[in-house]
Amino acid sequence: QRLPDTIEGHVIDKLEIPTVFYQSIEVVREKLAETEYDIVLAIGQAGGRYEITPERVAINVDDARIPDNDGQQPIDQRIQQDGPPAYFTPLPVKRMVEAMQAEGVPASLSNSAGTFVCNHIMYQLAYEAERYYPKLKTGFIHVPFAPAQVIDKPGKPSMSIEMMVKGLTAAIRVCLNYDTDVATVHGTTH
């Protein structure tokens, strides 16, 4: 909610969605029906990560280690029966990482959004875009815990809200200005 209302003349529309399988996309679908968007970028929390991490890929599986906020805990379930095994984001994720790093914000590229609601909404957004909004670009970014969330979690990494806002603003700016990514090394060995 602390992101600016505009970035480089583009309106930034903020929507809080529930951490609930399937209900999350229903909330987004209602918004997509009301307004035409160029980009939908979902933000979620990955407690334990040190950096802001744009996600490269969403996979077609829900496999919840814990229940969602509605008590659902799907195990090895396809998100969309007629959907592909995975969707790669069309967003310039490497440029996003580099822009955040240039602003002094710890960031890296992630190749796994997990198998909980974050991956679920990233996959659902790509599925919706492919079927109903062919010009819409979608993606997902994970952020770390905020400092107040780790007071009783010794050793858990955190990042200030201000730094998260700075990083997310830089990442959004990239999405607004670039259609293609850079061919720089951001891969991992494991």
148 DSSP 8-state letter: G
E strands in the chain: 6-7, 10-11, 39-45, 53-54, 57-59, 86-88, 137-143
For the range 73-76, what are the long-range contacts, defined as Cβ-Cβ under 8 Å and sequence gap of 24 or more?
A: 74/21
Q: Which residue has the tokens 């592909």?
A: 84
Sign of torsion, CA 100 102 105 106? positive
Catalytic residue list contains 175: no
Altogether, the residues listed in the chain come to a count of 190
How would you label 49-61 residue by residue, b for 16+ Cβ within 10 Å and e otherwise? bebbbbbbbbbbb
Q: Which position among 30, 34, 98, 118 bears the catalytic label?
A: 118
Residue 128 falls in the annotated catalytic set: no
Report the SS3 class of residue 142. Answer: strand
CB 55 within 8 A of CB 89: yes
Which residue out of 51, 55, 98, 128 is catalytically annotated?
A: 55
- Residues serving a catalytic function are 55, 118
